[in-house]
Amino acid sequence: MAWQEFYLQPTGDDRNSGSDSNNTPTLTVTGGTISAGSIGQTVFTAPSGTPFSGVSVGQYVSLYHNTDTVSKFVGQVLSIGGGGLSITVSNDKQTGTALTCLGKGDLTTTALSSAAGAVACNVGGAWASLNLTNTGNALALPYLASTGTSASNLRINIQAGTYPAYSATITLPSGSAAKPIWWRGYFSTIGDLDNCTNVGGTLTGGPTGATRPQFSTGSTGHSFSVPAWNWLENLEFSGPPTGGSAVLSTSGYVRLVRCRGTATSSASNGFTCFGAYGGTLHAIGCLFVYNGGGSATAAMFCQGYCSLVGNAFQKGLSGLLLQGQGYLAAFNLVEAANTGISYQNTNALSSTLLNNVVYNCTTGVSIGSGATGHVLAANNLLANCTSGVVNSATANAWTLQLINTGFATLSGSQTSGLFESFQRGAVTEPNGVSPFNDAPNHDFSLTATALARQAGFPGTFETL
């Protein structure tokens, strides 16, 4: 799959075209004028001289008003005119073999003024913030124009650093099944964080002193909203969206890899997956935290189809709240919540809980009274909890099947509400004996003498 690379870094400039990792553009021309060329083409003419004589066909340029601080349109150069006086750029009205462009560049729809001398142009340079996604800017929803046959999949490479705290919700643009958008964090070299885990503030497996890109917000709604066909990797999000629902929320098909969502308000979830009957989330190796004090909400709240593998969920009324459709939750850690995994699915769809560790929760797993789906829970390990598994489902006696569940240091009952003997292969660790090598330091790999079967992957999880 071909990717068109763009770059975002704390020392960049949002007026740049984002097409290379330099802080400054190779060329800036102010006081220019835009006009319409052929269909799907915009012409930018400099006020004088031949400043574009060194520009090549195919380079990306950014167009914005002289007084703007953020690009309105990014497109590729199709031709150079007048020996370098003007450039013709492919815009969003191109069809057939249209090149990749960002934003509205066609004069019938663009936010740019065609008044003489009103527009500036940058060639090259990295972007500086997610303000580019605000309405009317180059990466705004729904103005992402990448539909032509020559348009590439977009990959935005985001350098580690602390980015501006945003006061309003940041909504990323939508991709498509054929042309997804990949937001990929890195430290100093692209790809250097792709196999790292953050344990207690230290990224293991990466460069010395490495950190991830940090995004925060004080929005009163969803802090960061991620629509369909986006892929987020090696990024960290936090904020107190008072009165809102989540620091990070998704709808449609979304993939998260080694990301973090931390809620610091008592009115928000760390993460919410929306899109009932249509939202699909794949989360791998992530950490979701409700850190707002008390236990009012969840570290992660899911309403769509979700595949959750190798993640950590910490704190909240529920560490992992499943309330939508079918789920696969495998090899996860749920820690320090009132209820570790709360299943309240009212759709008659099957879900699987496989090889999860629930630790230091009041109730390990709870099946709600209105649940009508079917849950297969196999090879899970519940430790240091008051109660193990509580099944309150009344609509379907077959709701829950337990296989090879491990119990360690429970002060109350292991199970309640199971239909007849719907548990097979349960094992109980000796009272007071931990099956983990070093749980206080989040190493949940099993000791050589642990009776639990298969549980505890991947061993060391993302932690605060």
- Amino acid 426: pLDDT: 73
Is 303 a residue whose pLDDT tops 60? yes
Is 153 a residue whose pLDDT tops 60? yes
With cut-offs at 50, 70 and 90, classify the pLDDT of residue 274. low
pLDDT in tens, 407-426: 999 999 999 888 654 666 67
Residues 235 and 442: their CA atoms lie apart, in Å, by 21
With cut-offs at 50, 70 and 90, classify the pLDDT of residue 457. very low
Is 325 a residue whose pLDDT tops 90? no
What does the pLDDT average to over 331-352?
A: 86
Strand order in the sheet with 327-330: 3-8, 153-159, 181-186, 230-233, 253-257, 280-284, 305-309, 327-330, 350-354, 374-378, 400-403, 423-424
With cut-offs at 50, 70 and 90, classify the pLDDT of residue 56. very high
Instruction: List Cβ<8 Å contacts ≥24 apart for 430-438.
Output: 433/408, 433/409, 434/383, 434/408, 434/409, 435/381, 435/383, 435/406, 435/408, 436/383
Tell me the domains of the chain and their CATH numbers.
13-131 (2.40.10.170), 160-446 (2.160.20.10)
- Amino acid 219: pLDDT: 64
Residues whose CB falls within 8 Å of the CB of residue 38, separated by 6 or more in sequence, listed in order: none
What does the pLDDT average to over 385-392?
A: 94
How many other C-beta atoms can be found within 10 angstroms of the C-beta atom of residue 73? 30
What percent of the chain is modeled with pLDDT above 90? 45
- Amino acid 142: pLDDT: 43
Is 458 a residue whose pLDDT tops 90? no
- Amino acid 330: pLDDT: 93
What does the pLDDT average to over 105-126?
A: 87
Can you tell me whether residue 277 is helix, strand or coil? coil
- DSSP state, residue 266: T
For the chain, the average pLDDT equals 85
Query: Which helix (H) or strand (E) covers residue 273, if one does?
Result: strand 269-273
Q: Which of 71-85, 166-180, 270-284 has the lowest mean pLDDT?
A: 270-284
What does the pLDDT average to over 24-44?
A: 93
Report which listed range, 141-150, 173-182, 275-284, 401-410, is most confident.
Answer: 401-410
Is 39 a residue whose pLDDT tops 50? yes
pTM of the model: 0.90
- Amino acid 220: pLDDT: 62
Instruction: Report the first-to-last Cα separation within the chain, whole angstroms.
Output: 35
With cut-offs at 50, 70 and 90, classify the pLDDT of residue 342. very high
With cut-offs at 50, 70 and 90, classify the pLDDT of residue 269. confident
Is 242 a residue whose pLDDT tops 70? no
Q: Which residue has the higher pLDDT, 367 or 441?
A: 367
- Amino acid 47: pLDDT: 97
